[in-house]
């Protein structure tokens, strides 16, 4: 099946289990890492029919999502003299997708790229919607661009080799979407196991439909798209504090969801029962729901580097019941401190 | 007076001698270099009314148009915690404009920027149209983005402090536009001096009108915009060979125009007389019209890194008489070698 991401300039399809052949009358560079490459590169290469096909393997991990690796990918493009019609293919998780997309957006002022996610997290979230970028010492994804892929291929076969922990991390993004946009999907997630293949395909489709719909409405995140950052305002600070090494992104998001829900609960937006249901669903997939904040002032201060904070206002995305959301940028500092205090 | 650059997503104005006050309810970072700063920074700062206004001074020169300087500008943005509504202002020539625009396009996935050109070259060409980028060891502007400014302010007062050589370099881009798009403007340039202020203002307007019109038709250079690269296919190789140090960009373009005209002449597109008239106009502004190619094979080979070369085809922009153009990507290698031979 396929889901269209409708955009003003350029629409494209997210294909679920439809990868037969990629035919391109151009040069191609596949970007991947050693972990993914060992499992899936041969399969992918057997499906690519291009003028030339090269592979660049970059180090695996969030900490390599930086300018140095971008330069490594760029060098490969220059080495093989890719032109403006050439295509990059991202084979990997969110890190590979973000860096490949960013490179595609700046190589010769922009070339096409295709996303082939190999993690659940990137399949349901990162691969769709054209957010690209890298991290730096100031925080996550602070440098990047909006650059849409020309196609996305999600293959459940590629997700089977995922370590359990990585799979769970992807679940955090699924739960994020269910809590803010779709109560019945949330209930479905409570009652079904994603370890059944047909269920996984169904859940992928539901999430990608939500994501595609949100991105179509608001490509550049000037409105509703920010809701997808539910949990992320906290998660980015957590990832930064723990130097991107202790938690996978999805794990940090899980903690971020718990924190955001604590705030929503204090504001009377989320009932105690709903808050508990979300925690329970996160735990069902062995996601972390606790975190120890050592320095509340410092944690609070780090919010202001978030891209959604304007002029000393932090924008929080909060659940309004399960299946609803609200954006607030006028929450009292004292209340935020109180909530952060619950984690210290 | 002002000229509109009409774009599908976002139109903006190029103002000529209309800079009174820039009022912004956001943080601002002005990007400039020591040379420009000494002449014009105080004047500009006196006209900016913003929430916060910071200045970052980067080294002067094409050879600093690289990732290192981009990181210096990014650092300044992070240091002052610019958010997605903040604005960068480029005060300088093409190098400053290209780097400021590129930084604006990738800081937090894109913020606004304003161009204030202080060279003739950037006033008539680089500042308008949203091409941003940096150089690397493979060539010029090979990494960058299309990112439109939100406004451009051309002040003839700022151009008065230009060294004569820099002024001439800008003339090369003017002559480029006249030759390919506007025969009567070419004739006007033959008969008038740009050192008269009213004439300069007139010529600025004519060039910016041409540029705005071309960009409106073809923002991403998939068609007619490539014509603005008349002379540049050769110029980029020359600049690369001479390591961006011997010639100013406009000077390399002047030589590139001469080379392109030699090719057009061989193809019967340009008469001997018209070829001579263009040379004469270039010389009127003391622009170089000669170049010594040491290794023709190597020179030819370097064409293929040009962004306009696809799959081993070089796209040449040629004058078709004065005031017309043609794009050709099927010129015999032997003919190109013959023309290059004229310069060896």
Average pLDDT value for residue range A225-238: 95
* Residues in A touching B102 (Cβ below 8 Å): 106
Is residue B183 over pLDDT 80?
A: yes
Average pLDDT value for residue range B166-183: 96
If phi > 0 it is left, if psi is from -120 to 50 it is alpha, else beta; for residue A64 that is alpha
CA angle A79, A80, A82 (to 5 degrees): 110
Q: pLDDT of B94-123, one tens digit each?
A: 999 999 999 999 999 999 999 999 999 999
Q: Nearest residue of A to residue B98 by CA position? A: A109
Is residue A9 over pLDDT 90?
A: no
* Residues in B touching A305 (Cβ below 8 Å): 78, 81
The minimum CA-CA distance between A153 and chain B, rounded to whole Å, is 24
Confidence of residue A166 (pLDDT cuts 50, 70, 90): very high
Interface predicted TM-score (ipTM) of this complex, two decimals: 0.90
* Residues in A touching B106 (Cβ below 8 Å): 102, 106, 143-145
Confidence of residue A307 (pLDDT cuts 50, 70, 90): low
| Residue B262 CB contacts under 8 Å (≥ 6 apart), including other chains | B275, B339, B342, B343
Alpha helices in chain A, H assignment, sequence order = 34-36, 42-47, 67-79, 94-106, 120-121, 156-159, 164-181, 183-191, 197-217, 232-241, 249-266, 272-284, 296-302, 333-341
The minimum CA-CA distance between B254 and chain A, rounded to whole Å, is 23
Catalytic residue, from B141, B229, B240, B261: name it: B229
The tokens describing A288, both together, are: 């972390």
The tokens describing B255, both together, are: 């030589």
Confidence of residue B309 (pLDDT cuts 50, 70, 90): low
Tell me, what's the pLDDT at B240?
87
The minimum CA-CA distance between A252 and chain B, rounded to whole Å, is 20
Count the alpha carbons within 13 Å of A325 in the hemisphere toward its beta carbon.
23
Q: Is B67 on the interface with A (CB under 8 A)?
A: yes
- Tell how strand A12-16 and strand A2-5 pair up: antiparallel
Choose the closest CB to A83 out of B105, B132, B311.
B311
Q: Is B223 on the interface with A (CB under 8 A)?
A: no
Choose the closest CB to A311 out of B83, B107, B145.
B83
- Contact at CB, B310 and A131, closer than 8 angstroms: no
- For tokens 């180090």, the residue is A59
How many beta carbons lie within 10 A of that of residue A138, not counting itself? 16
Cα gap B182→B154, rounded to integer Å = 22
Tell me, what's the pLDDT at B232?
94
N-to-C CA span, chain B: 46
Whether B173 is catalytic:
yes
- Contact at CB, B109 and A144, closer than 8 angstroms: yes
Q: Nearest residue of B to residue A28 by CA position? A: B311
- For tokens 């000494």, the residue is B38
By residue count, chain A amounts to 344
Count the alpha carbons within 13 Å of B231 in the hemisphere toward its beta carbon.
25
* Residues in B touching A106 (Cβ below 8 Å): 102, 106, 143-145
Q: Is A246 on the interface with B (CB under 8 A)?
A: no
- For tokens 């029919």, the residue is A49
* Residues in A touching B67 (Cβ below 8 Å): 67, 71
Catalytic residue, from B15, B131, B176, B275: name it: B131
Q: Is A72 on the interface with B (CB under 8 A)?
A: no
Q: Is the separation of the CB atoms in A226 and A318 below 8 Å?
A: no
Q: Is the separation of the CB atoms in B13 and B3 below 8 Å?
A: yes
Tell me, what's the pLDDT at A172?
97
- Contact at CB, A220 and B110, closer than 8 angstroms: yes
* Residues in A touching B141 (Cβ below 8 Å): 109
- Domain A164-341, CATH: 1.20.1090.10
Burial category of B290 from C-beta neighbours within 10 Å (exposed 0-12, middle 13-18, buried 19 and up): exposed
Average pLDDT value for residue range B237-260: 94
For chain B, give the percent of residues with pLDDT over 90: 88
Choose the closest CB to B143 out of A106, A142, A305.
A106
The minimum CA-CA distance between A226 and chain B, rounded to whole Å, is 13
Is residue B320 over pLDDT 70?
A: yes
CA angle B271, B274, B275 (to 5 degrees): 85
Is residue A14 over pLDDT 90?
A: yes
Q: Is the separation of the CB atoms in B27 and B51 below 8 Å?
A: yes
Confidence of residue A237 (pLDDT cuts 50, 70, 90): very high
Confidence of residue B308 (pLDDT cuts 50, 70, 90): low
Choose the closest CB to A146 out of B110, B141, B143.
B110
Tell me, what's the pLDDT at A308?
62
- For tokens 């489709």, the residue is A205
Candidate ranges A157-166, A179-188, A308-317, B2-11; pick with highest mean pLDDT = A179-188
The tokens describing B247, both together, are: 């010639």
Average confidence score pLDDT of chain A: 95
Average confidence score pLDDT of chain B: 95
The minimum CA-CA distance between B161 and chain A, rounded to whole Å, is 32
Domain covering B2-159: architecture: 3-Layer(aba) Sandwich (3.40)
Domain boundaries of chain A, sorted by first residue: 2-159, 164-341
- Contact at CB, A85 and B143, closer than 8 angstroms: no
Radius of gyration of chain A (CA): 20
Choose the closest CB to A109 out of B106, B138, B146.
B146
Burial category of A38 from C-beta neighbours within 10 Å (exposed 0-12, middle 13-18, buried 19 and up): exposed
Mutate to test the interface with A, among B107, B109, B142, B232 (most CBs of A within 10 A): B109
Q: pLDDT of B138-158, one tens digit each?
A: 888 999 999 999 999 999 999
DSSP state of B75: H
Q: Is B105 on the interface with A (CB under 8 A)?
A: yes
Whether B191 is catalytic:
no
β-bridge partners, A328:
A316
The tokens describing B307, both together, are: 């962004």
Q: Nearest residue of A to residue B8 by CA position? A: A9
Q: Nearest residue of A to residue B304 by CA position? A: A81
Q: pLDDT of B260-307, one tens digit each?
A: 999 999 999 999 999 999 999 999 999 999 999 999 999 999 998 766
| Residue A130 CB contacts under 8 Å (≥ 6 apart), including other chains | A101, A146, A147, A148, A149, A215, A219
Catalytic residue, from B109, B195, B243, B312: name it: B109
Tell me, what's the pLDDT at B55?
98
- Contact at CB, B78 and A108, closer than 8 angstroms: no
* Residues in A touching B220 (Cβ below 8 Å): 110
The minimum CA-CA distance between A135 and chain B, rounded to whole Å, is 10
Average pLDDT value for residue range A237-266: 94
Choose the closest CB to A145 out of B106, B133, B310.
B106
Whether the full predicted model's pTM is greater than 0.80, yes or no, is yes
Question: How does DSSP assign B308-324, residue by residue?
Answer: T-BTTBPPEEEESSTT-
Q: pLDDT of B37-87, one tens digit each?
A: 999 999 999 999 999 999 999 999 888 999 999 999 999 999 999 999 999
Tell me, what's the pLDDT at B299?
96
Backbone angles phi, psi at A306, to 5 degrees: -65, 140
| Residue A170 CB contacts under 8 Å (≥ 6 apart), including other chains | A119, A120, A121, A122, A123, A124, A162, A250
Choose the closest CB to B109 out of A67, A74, A133.
A133
Q: pLDDT of A169-221, one tens digit each?
A: 999 999 999 999 999 999 999 999 998 889 999 999 999 999 999 999 999 99
């Amino acid at each position: 099946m396929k889901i269209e991401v409708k955009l003003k300039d350029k629409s494209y399809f997210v294909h679920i289990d439809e990868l037969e052949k990629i035919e391109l009358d151009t040069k191609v560079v596949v970007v991947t890492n050693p972990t993914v490459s060992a499992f899936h590169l041969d399969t992918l290469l057997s499906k690519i029919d291009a003028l030339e096909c090269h592979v660049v393997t970059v180090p695996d991990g969030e900490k390599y999502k930086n300018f140095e690796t971008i330069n490594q990918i760029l060098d490969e493009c220059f080495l093989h003299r890719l032109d403006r019609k050439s295509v990059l293919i991202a084979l990997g998780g969110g890190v590979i997708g973000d860096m490949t997309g960013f490179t595609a957006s700046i190589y010769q002022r922009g070339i096409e790229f295709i996303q082939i996610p190999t993690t659940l997290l990137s399949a349901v979230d990162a691969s769709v919607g054209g957010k690209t970028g890298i991290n730096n010492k100031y925080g996550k994804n602070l440098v990047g661009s909006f650059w849409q892929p020309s196609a996305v291929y999600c293959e459940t076969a590629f997700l089977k080799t995922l370590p359990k922990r990585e799979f769970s991390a992807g679940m955090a993004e699924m739960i994020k979407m269910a809590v803010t946009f779709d109560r019945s999907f949330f209930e479905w997630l409570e009652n079904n196991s994603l370890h059944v293949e047909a269920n996984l395909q169904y859940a992928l489709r539901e999430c990608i439909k939500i994501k595609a719909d949100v991105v179509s409405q608001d490509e550049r995140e000037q409105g509703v798209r920010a809701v997808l950052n539910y949990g992320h305002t906290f998660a980015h600070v957590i990832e930064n504090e723990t130097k991107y090494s202790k938690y996978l992104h999805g794990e940090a998001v899980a903690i971020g969801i718990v924190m955001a829900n604590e705030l929503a609960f204090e504001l009377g937006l989320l009932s105690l029962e709903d808050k508990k249901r979300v925690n329970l669903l996160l735990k069902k997939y062995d996601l972390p729901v606790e975190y120890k904040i050592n320095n509340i002032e410092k944690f609070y201060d780090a919010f202001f580097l978030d891209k959604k904070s304007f002029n000393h206002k932090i924008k929080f995305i909060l659940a309004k019941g399960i299946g609803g959301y609200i954006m607030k940028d006028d929450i009292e500092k004292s209340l935020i401190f109180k909530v952060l205090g619950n984690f210290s």
